[in-house]
Amino acid sequence: MGRELEIETDNSIFDKKMEIPLRAYNQRDWKSFKRFFQDDKSALIEPFDLAGNTAIRKVAKNLQRLREYLEMLSPRDRWHALRKKNFHGSTILHIHNLNGEIADEVLKCEKELPLPPENEIDKQQLEEKELPLLEIRNMNGETPIYRAAFFGNLKLMKYLAKQVADMKMHFHRKKDKVSILHAAVIGQNFGTNFRSLILTQIFSFNFSQFFVVVELETYISVQTWLCGY
């Protein structure tokens, strides 16, 4: 529970031309990989593998490489590259093992890019065009902050949490209402550091959020007792 959904994919969506860069990627042959996309820049925002990930998403864990490939794109295509979802509904910011520096690059790029005309945005993206990347949910109903917490990437979670004014929307997965703390327990990423981090991210503390804190503290106590931490 909480992992990306196992779904069947239509192999026809995967263009056979991608076999060339995919082979280069698997062999870490970056010269051949780059040469392919220099000749076909639009392919950077097309499905690259059978999970629907784009090439931009596949290189995102390397800051220098991410910058290099984003710069190949026009501002319009760069906007699409950041928001393009794979077949699990995840954007580039849902990659749970990014670091803060890479996430910062993605968010800076997002702020700099103008919104394309509506006729250049597909139906799925049109519904979420006004949402910041941090608030876009995948098919499990998880925000990027939620996924970082589930997989125990506390550094990334801490960085992303500092970019939002209100953490409340990130406390639960929309699909089944599983709390972020419960997900961390399931993922065996629960501990004192996680507890402290969640509570310190509630910046705009007010009366309504007091009840969120109480709920979290109660949940933490119960889970700590059940899990023997």
pLDDT at 229: 44
List all residues 6 or more positions away from 188 whose beta carbon is below 8 Å from its beta carbon: 152
Question: Could you report the per-residue pLDDT of 90-99, keeping only the tens digit for each?
Answer: 999 999 999 9
Q: How far apart are alpha carbons 22 and 55 in whole angstroms?
A: 9
| Residues, the chain | 229
Enter the pTM of the model.
0.76
List all residues 6 or more positions away from 66 whose beta carbon is below 8 Å from its beta carbon: 56, 59, 60, 102, 105, 106
pLDDT at 191: 53
pLDDT at 6: 39
pLDDT at 117: 85
Question: Could you report the per-residue pLDDT of 93-143, keeping only the tens digit for each?
Answer: 999 999 999 999 999 999 999 888 888 887 777 788 889 999 999 999 999
Six-digit token string for 135: 């608030």
Six-digit token string for 43: 């392919």
pLDDT at 172: 83
List all residues 6 or more positions away from 128 whose beta carbon is below 8 Å from its beta carbon: 83, 136
pLDDT at 102: 96
Q: How far apart are alpha carbons 129 and 125 in whole angstroms?
A: 6
Domain ranges of the chain: 1-136, 142-229
HEC assignment per residue over 151-175: CCCHHHHHHHHCCCCCCHHHCECCC
- Asked if residues 44 and 79 have their Cβ atoms less than 8 Å apart, the reply is no
pLDDT at 8: 41
Please state, in angstroms and as integers, the Cα–Cα distance from residue 89 to each residue in 21, 63, 78, 81, 134, following that order: 23, 23, 18, 14, 14
Q: What is the pLDDT along the chain (229 residues), one digit of tens a residue?
A: 444 443 344 444 668 899 999 999 999 999 999 999 999 999 999 999 989 999 999 999 999 999 999 999 999 999 999 999 999 999 999 999 999 999 999 999 999 998 888 888 877 777 888 899 999 999 999 999 999 888 888 889 889 988 998 888 888 888 888 877 776 666 655 554 555 555 454 444 443 444 444 444 444 444 444 444 4
CA–centroid distance for 214 within its chain: 28
- Asked if residues 63 and 25 have their Cβ atoms less than 8 Å apart, the reply is no
pLDDT at 205: 40
Residue tagged 């997989």 (tokens) = 151
H or E segment to which residue 43 belongs = none
pLDDT at 190: 53
Residue tagged 């703390």 (tokens) = 181
